[in-house]
Structure 1
Amino acid sequence: MGAAIAGHLANVGVPTYLLDIVPRDLTEQEKAKGLTLNDKVVRNRLAQAGKDRLLKEKPAPLFTREAAGLIQVGNMEDDFDKLGGVDWIIEVVVENLKIKQDLFARLEKVWKPGTIVSSNTSGISINKMVEGRSEEFKKHFLGTHFFNPPRYMKLLEMIPNRSTDPAILTEMKAFAEEVLGKGVVFCKDTPNFIANRIGTYGLQITLPVMEELGLGPDEVDAVTGRAMGRPKSATFRTLDLVGLDTFVHVADNVRENVSDPAEKEAFVVSPLMKKLVDNKWLGEKSGQGFYKKVKTEKGKEILALDPKTLEYRPRKKLKARSLDQAKRAKTLPEQLQALVYADDAAGKLAWQITKKVLIYSANRLEEIADDIVSVDQAMKWGFNWELGPFEMWDAIGVEKSVARMREEGETIPKLVEDLLASGQKTFYKTEQGKRYSFFVGGKYGEVAEHEKEISLGRLKEQGKLIKGNKGASLIDIGDDIACLEFHSPKQAIGADIISMINTAVKEVDANYRGLVIGNQAPNFCVGANLMLMLMEAQDHNWPELDLMVRQFQKAMGSLRYLNRPVVAAPFGMALGGGVEVCLPADRIQASAELYMGLVEVGVGLIPGGGGNKEMLLRWTEGIDPADRVALQPLVNHVFMTIGQAKVSTSAQEARKYKFLRSCDGITANQDHLIYDAKQVALGLAKAGYQAPQPRQIPVVGETGYNVLKLGAYGMLKSGYISEHDYKIACKLAYVLSGGEVPEGTPVSEQYLLDLEREAFLSLAGEPKTQARMQYMLAKGKPLRN
């Protein structure tokens, strides 16, 4: 975990020392090399191993491999004095109070006054750790509980001790949000803080409910995952990923440190869990837990544990009418209501788990947090729930659920009684575009929002919608900047979005200073509407398909040459057409987590919305058309990037492929992305923005086409690509080379767009391309035919 935190600091450009203990024994390899315990390579071995793992683990802890260069390894004997020259020291040693206390006593001797010190503990008392330390040291000390893996998990729990300087908390919160991209929740110094306290309780109470209903872990996971607005890993897959021994440690920590007998009882680990740990069936790290992967004649298969026999069996699908109804629900509240109020096995399971978690969260609120917002955010950011406990209570109906709880003999928490006694029916409410939450004591308070958090949904509620249709909306986000939001299914580009792009161009040109293209869905845009294109191709409706491509190309051109600055704000997945929307923009302000690539070859096509032309523009910018030696390698890069459907694994890596340029920005905190993009648009407008002019693009012509085609042929003969892949590659090569013209010929952008469109339509008519499109729609992954 220490290495992973160091890795994420390196991701955002912070040079970091990674120190670990000195090994006591030599490995066999070290002995064979004649090394001794005094050699530096041996003394730094554990820290180096941690750094090395950052380059091997998946999902990758680093934005790019180069980020590892900012991590300097050492050990806690030879390099301990270096801690006196840093700005922030993070302790990530074993979860043992005595060891931590001894470390901080030693640390204070080299500590530079003013340096911030924090512990990454997941549950040990922050106050007890620094008993005996000076007041000045305590003033600069706090808990910073990163969730694993640090790159991907948004939550950072901050826990002050009784002496922590409030100014330091403010400073650290700002740094964590702005630089590290975290969502910060302040916690009280209680066992396991907020997220693990509630999350562990929720996992604990699921086991007895499973046994009571006679279900297996696979059947429970069918209910407690996406159906309840939680991650796909649900309950028992999550336990296997975390490690059953780790979970038992966390549960035991709560049980040993709480005083309420009923709560102690709730955290007693079940006999089933103890048996699995005793068997060393710890989950993913041991190869089996509640699930087990086995090899069969059909390939790898995942088996589920039978809780009664402790034998593994094929996974079952829980058949329940409520699950089917939940899948058909249009909103998450409707989905949850379909489940928790149903009288089948899935409904009974969902109700029992939900009821207990909601009551527990309300009972523990004052002990663990300052408000319900902190609890909800902690569970959303730390456990990837779509709704926190109090938001979930609102979703299923507070009055209705409490009435049922009373019928079942439950004691309703005072907070909830106060809410209902005040005549209110929800923990949250919105008035005049502002959000309020219910506080202990019976009053509502406005939910504090970061100045950089722009909610497109709330702006629309406030009447800031300029124009909209089923696929997209144009929203006034203030300061005479408009935002074009895609909200079609998966933000796929179809006629509605293209129409709204054209509308946005006219509206912004006439009435606004700039345009931001962004949204707040799970992903920016996964490409064009593949189903629509496949239907047209299968019906041989070539004039309609040709018109669709022309309209898309024209819309992208209107973005490029709009008389106002355009800033694209991609995040998550920006694929195919989603990339083509970004490439014409004057600037891109990207989220640090960005999976960006022109992936059309995966469905048997090439980019059709100007992607080939735009990539040529980027790679050949500033090149002398007469310099043929320099031109061909650049075109080769474009050919490989598109032909191999390369996708960045971060915004930093997107720079390597020139999806992002050096002038484009990266935002660590995705919640601030629209704000940052807006500031870029304003900056361009204030600087006297002038739209670019169409320019000629030098191409490698027929000679370069043969070079590209020869490379593809070599891959075909080597077995790396299929015959159909080769056909696609040749079409792509023809477009990128500029067709049958002499090498170095400057051609117009429209000339390249015409070549691109013709190749796109030609490939769309291929039966194997249509098979790839069909397979992608059905399976969600590419077919190699």
Structure 2
Amino acid sequence: MSNTITKEVVSGSGVAGRNITKAAVIGSGVMGSGIAAHLANAGIPCLLLDIVPNSLTAEEEKAGLTLDHPKVRSRLAAKAVAALPKSSTAPLYSADFVSRITPGNTEDHLSQLKDADWIIEVVTERLEIKKSIFKQIEGVRKEGAIVSTNTSGISVNAMVEDCSEEFRSHFLGTHFFNPPRHMKLLEIIPGFDTDPDITKFMVEFCTKRLGKGVVLAKDTPNFISNRIGTYGLLVTLQEMVKNSYTVEEVDAATGPILGRPKSATFRTLDLVGIDTFVHVARNVYDSVPDGAEKDVFTVPDVMNELVTRGWIGEKGGQGFYKKVKGDKGSQILSLNLSTMEYHPSAKISSASIEAAKAVKGAKRKIKAFLSTQDRYSELAWNVLKQVLVYAADKLGEIADSIQDIDNAMKWGFNWELGPFETWDLIGLPESVQRMEAEGLTVPAWVKDWIAAGNKTFYQQKDGEAFHYFKGEYKGVEVQPELISLQTLKSQNRIIRSNTGANLIDLGDGVACLEFTSPNNAIGADILVMIQQSVEEIRANYRGLVVANEGRNFCVGANLMLMLMEAQSGDWDEVDDIIRLFQGSMMKLKGLEKPVVAAPHRMTLGGGVEACLPADRIIFSAETYFGLVETGVGLIPAGGGCKELVLMTSNRHPDADHDLQPEINRIFEMVAMAKASTSGHEAIRMGYGRSGDTVVMNQDYRIYEAKQAVLAMDRAGYVPPQPGKARVVGRDGRAVLQLGAIDMKRSGYISDHDLLIAKKLAHILTGGDVPAGTVVSEQHLLDLEREAFLSLLGEAKTQQRMQHMLAKGKPLRN
């Protein structure tokens, strides 16, 4: 092995002339209907088929239907489709997308598969059933149509061994994770005979059109993510039993402080379903040869006992944890694996745990935790070292790329760092030396890599990224659509910077304003950077993108700062902050160059107000967008109310058009602190303007925003003129207030809610003016500021703010 570096650039053009315009899913269970829903999210019409029922329901009998009735024959798929808009997991971006799914059955509608460009099998996990389905599909599919299986572990090649060569060349595994909309990972598993061009096309299509994080896996038991994840959970159980740890202790040591989700080990098992986990573990056990690996995948007796008792996790009402209601509210109990009895969960603390909690960021937490020696860091190390060695041992067997393995664990199990990234973090040569000293056998290729002078699996050189691949450093694939602000910063592309934000050069004369404060909350530092960015763009750039790579785009303004100023009685300071906020948004809106915002995930309150001044918004599909200030006893004061009134007036320029119904809707939306459940819904709620779009892959939103800036610049950008809004005035305010008073009388809202509602109504209707009056933006901003200041002085508002800061949820007082 050597430290040779090779580079590969991928432009990603796909297979020429191939596209997927219609799809079909066979199997309407949780996964099948979820996959159909996500295809609908992507704008792809989908046929959803299931078997014909062999008995009638009580409702069908009462209606006088027979087994031959079309409604009965397609009942399973139709019922699944009808349930999608009501599902608690929200599989659809917008409820009306359900119209893109057509239910049917595999006897009457199988011939319709001839119209599908992609057919996905999602039936029960039994090889013979799957083989039978594929023979049926082969008889009706059109030549060239792609067929895939959503199996979670059955051999992809074995399923189609009896099918034609042409069929096999268009067949592969597409392992979605549940729920398909929300889980980023998609494992694509080519078969022995899969055409490489088909594999390439599916990788690109699923990445761009479905917004997935795609990894290439090999046809091995449980593929990548479930293979390593299941191994990690089982060795954790073994370490627990060996050294007598409790359920709570294990979860305290294997959660966020180890770069893992809050659900850690046992909450994860309860969420997934212990019966499901046992099935996955047995699948590997049955497929690997005798030896140490088979021993690890032997299902522990305690898990078999839990399945026998029906204590299979959340869906069974109890598992490793159990929630009970008492006189003082709900209580979480944890299971004692020795006695099989529940007891109140104990809070776990130690020197290593506290050391990890004292620092921010997954990398710093992991290092602090593992470097502080005690009982809990020892547990984490004993588990971690085995997982790292196992991942290294399986390289080449389950996947060829360490990047695919790392991404599979990050996207499928929500790890902050993949195994090989973690190994780099803790020190590759040093950790290997310790592992061997403790009796662990490290794969030879890892030791050869170190012996060749390499200290990491990943490397940054001259602003470019490289990773280990078959004995040398290989350049990380470059995708033009994938703009990484982190990479640009490592290339010294920062134009301006302060404690809360950066202005970064994206190239081609476009810059990006990135928020970097805790939770990306907007404070004075961000506002100052906005104003500085406006001047920089005006002088030297073609346009501006407002985006960042935080967990969430922005959760609002700095609530703690506002509360502290209010409690100290420094009202002049509060007034200055609000004026700075409003002025910054107006400068952003008045910039003579195009501005495009690209929000993602939680974009709330001030985050919304930072997007609305932009000429366009490129929403990530997963954007939860809303003015939610009433939840803390306030109203939007950074221009949010003003922009909604302006947009309403602009949509209906006819002076005779009645604006009241639209203002009523906006009033309810803001007063009830409603946020969208997707980017599509944000547009439907009225936050979208002409030209605003949704991008399926969140990782591409900055690229799409940059392209929108360049397109507007090339077209000869003309900045917007100062806005004027026609308002419904005092008569309209009376309508809104009357509705709020009725809600108060009915007990739906409190006195303080009513006070907030009246102030909000005053703003949205333009203040104390006659209906039809045309007001300026500044007039509406002044109304916002006055209402905000008065509410901030209310004791009940301050109580709501304190409660939100302490508990993370609203207080209704």
TM-score (ref. length: structure 2):
0.95
Deviation for aligned residue 1:542: 0.7
* Cα contact 1:620–1:634 (8 A) shared by 2: no
Task: Give yes or no for the alignment of 1:697 onto 2:725.
Answer: yes
Deviation for aligned residue 1:403: 1.9
* Cα contact 1:101–1:129 (8 A) shared by 2: yes
Deviation for aligned residue 1:743: 1.1
> Is 162-171 or 524-533 further displaced after alignment?
162-171
Counterpart of 1:730? 758
Deviations along 1:677-721, one digit per CA (max 9) or x if unpaired, are: 100111111110010001321111111111111111111111111
Counterpart of 2:355? 325
Distance 1:677 1:540 in 2: 42
Distance 2:320 2:632 in 1: 37
Counterpart of 1:644? 672
Task: Give yes or no for the alignment of 1:192 onto 2:212.
Answer: no
Provide the secondary structure at the position in 1 that maps to 2:182.
coil
Counterpart of 1:456? 485
Distance 2:776 2:601 in 1: 33
Task: Give yes or no for the alignment of 1:750 onto 2:778.
Answer: yes
Counterpart of 2:587? 558
* Cα contact 1:144–1:156 (8 A) shared by 2: yes
- Map residues 75-114 of structure 1 onto 2, 5 A cutoff: 75-114=105-144
Go from structure 1 to structure 2 and tell me whether the alpha carbon gap of 1:445 and 1:402 turns closer, same or farther (over 3 Å shift): same
* Cα contact 1:505–1:562 (8 A) shared by 2: yes
Distance 2:739 2:356 in 1: 51
Deviations along 1:148-202, one digit per CA (max 9) or x if unpaired, are: 1000011110011111111111111111011100011011111111111101101
Say which of 616, 621, 642 aligns to 1:587: 616
Distance 2:331 2:160 in 1: 49
> Is 322-331 or 80-89 further displaced after alignment?
322-331
Question: Which one scores higher on RCO, CA 8 angstroms, separation ≥ 6?
Answer: 2
Say which of 736, 741, 745 aligns to 1:708: 736
Deviation for aligned residue 1:113: 0.6
Identity of aligned residues (%): 57
- Map residues 50-449 of structure 1 onto 2, 5 A cutoff: 50-259=80-289, 261-441=291-471, 443-449=472-478
Aligned residue type for 1:703: D
Say which of 798, 803, 810 aligns to 1:770: 798
Task: Give yes or no for the alignment of 1:760 onto 2:793.
Answer: no
Q: How many residues align?
A: 783
Contiguous gaps of at least 5 residues in structure 2: 1-30
Aligned residue type for 2:641: N
* Cα contact 1:194–1:378 (8 A) shared by 2: yes
* Cα contact 1:125–1:189 (8 A) shared by 2: yes
Counterpart of 1:576? 605
Deviation for aligned residue 1:662: 4.1
Provide the secondary structure at the position in 1 that maps to 2:229.
helix
Provide the secondary structure at the position in 2 that maps to 1:477.
strand
> Is 537-546 or 257-266 further displaced after alignment?
257-266
Distance 1:660 1:409 in 2: 60
Aligned residue type for 1:748: S
Deviations along 1:18-58, one digit per CA (max 9) or x if unpaired, are: 10111111122222222111111111111122223322322
Deviation for aligned residue 1:224: 1.1
Deviation for aligned residue 1:624: 3.9
* Cα contact 1:567–1:586 (8 A) shared by 2: yes
Go from structure 1 to structure 2 and tell me whether the alpha carbon gap of 1:260 and 1:484 turns closer, same or farther (over 3 Å shift): farther
Aligned residue type for 1:780: G
> Is 287-296 or 89-98 further displaced after alignment?
287-296
Provide the secondary structure at the position in 2 that maps to 1:657.
helix
Distance 1:260 1:519 in 2: 49
Distance 2:661 2:140 in 1: 53
Deviations along 1:189-230, one digit per CA (max 9) or x if unpaired, are: 111111111011011111111112222222211221111111
Counterpart of 1:526? 555
Distance 2:626 2:674 in 1: 6
Deviations along 1:223-244, one digit per CA (max 9) or x if unpaired, are: 2111111111111111111111
Distance 1:326 1:743 in 2: 59
* Cα contact 1:619–1:638 (8 A) shared by 2: no
Distance 2:258 2:183 in 1: 20
Aligned residue type for 2:630: V
Aligned residue type for 1:557: M
Counterpart of 2:688? 660
Deviation for aligned residue 1:360: 0.4
Provide the secondary structure at the position in 1 that maps to 2:102.
strand
Aligned residue type for 1:515: L
> Is 486-495 or 283-292 further displaced after alignment?
283-292
Aligned residue type for 2:412: G
Say which of 617, 621, 634 aligns to 2:662: 634
Distance 1:332 1:694 in 2: 45
Deviations along 1:358-405, one digit per CA (max 9) or x if unpaired, are: 010000111111111110011111111110000011111112211211
Deviation for aligned residue 1:314: 0.8
Distance 1:484 1:557 in 2: 16
* Cα contact 2:629–2:635 (8 A) shared by 1: yes
Deviation for aligned residue 1:260: 5.1
Deviations along 1:744-767, one digit per CA (max 9) or x if unpaired, are: 111111111111111110111111
Aligned residue type for 2:252: A
* Cα contact 1:655–1:662 (8 A) shared by 2: no
Deviation for aligned residue 1:339: 2.3
Distance 1:450 1:249 in 2: 38
Aligned residue type for 1:765: G
Deviation for aligned residue 1:340: 2.6
Provide the secondary structure at the position in 2 that maps to 1:295.
strand
Distance 1:107 1:193 in 2: 25
Provide the secondary structure at the position in 2 that maps to 1:595.
strand
Counterpart of 1:676? 704
Q: How large is the RMSD of aligned CA atoms in angstroms?
A: 1.1
Structure 1 consecutive aligned stretches of length 4 or more whose deviation exceeds 3 Å: none
Provide the secondary structure at the position in 1 that maps to 2:332.
strand
Distance 2:529 2:243 in 1: 51
Counterpart of 2:530? 501
Provide the secondary structure at the position in 1 that maps to 2:232.
helix
> Is 144-153 or 705-714 further displaced after alignment?
705-714
* Cα contact 2:556–2:603 (8 A) shared by 1: yes
